[in-house]
Structure 1
Amino acid sequence: MSMDRPLTGGRPRAVNTAVLLREAFQTLNDRVLTRLADSGHAAVRPAHGVVFQHLDDTGTTVSTLAERAQMTKQAMAELVLHLERHGYVVREPDPADRRAKLVLPTGRGREVVAIAQELVPAIEADVAGLIGAEGLDRLRADLRAIIDG
Structure 2
Amino acid sequence: MTTRAQRNKTNPDLGVLAGRLLFAVQNELFSALAAKGFDDLQPRHGAVMAYMDPEGVRATDLARLSGQHKQVIGTLVDELERLGYVQRHPDPADRRAKLVCPTDRGLEQMKAADKIMNALQDRHARRLGRDAFAQFKAAFMDVTEHQRRAVAKKS
State the match for 1:26 in structure 2.
23
Question: Does the residue aligned with 2:87 lie in a helix, a strand or coil?
Answer: strand
Question: Does the 8 Å contact 2:86/2:100 carry over to 1?
Answer: yes
Question: Of 85, 90, 111, which residue of structure 2 is paired with 1:88?
Answer: 85
Q: Distance in 2 between matches of 1:53 and 1:112?
A: 10
Instruction: Tell which deviates more after alignment, 139-148 or 41-50.
Output: 139-148
Name the aligned partner's letter for residue 54 of structure 1: Y
Q: Distance in 2 between matches of 1:67 and 1:140?
A: 21
Find out whether 1:64 has 2:61 as its counterpart. yes
Find out whether 1:127 has 2:128 as its counterpart. no
Segments of 5+ residues of structure 2 without an aligned counterpart are 147-155
Q: In the TM superposition, what are the counterparts of 1:1-149 in structure 2 within 5 Å?
A: 12=5, 14=8, 15-147=12-144, 149=146
Q: 1:146 to 1:82 in 2, by over 3 A?
A: same
Question: Does the 8 Å contact 2:58/2:98 carry over to 1?
Answer: yes
How many residue pairs get aligned? The number is 140
Q: Which has the larger share of helix?
A: 2
Name the aligned partner's letter for residue 76 of structure 1: I
Instruction: Tell which deviates more after alignment, 20-29 or 70-79.
Output: 20-29
Q: Distance in 1 between matches of 2:64 and 2:135?
A: 30
Segments of 5+ residues of structure 1 without an aligned counterpart are 1-9
| TM-score, L = length of structure 2 | 0.77
Question: Does the 8 Å contact 2:51/2:62 carry over to 1?
Answer: yes
Question: Does the residue aligned with 2:114 lie in a helix, a strand or coil?
Answer: helix
Instruction: Tell which deviates more after alignment, 83-92 or 94-103.
Output: 94-103
Name the aligned partner's letter for residue 115 of structure 2: E
Question: Does the 8 Å contact 2:29/2:117 carry over to 1?
Answer: no
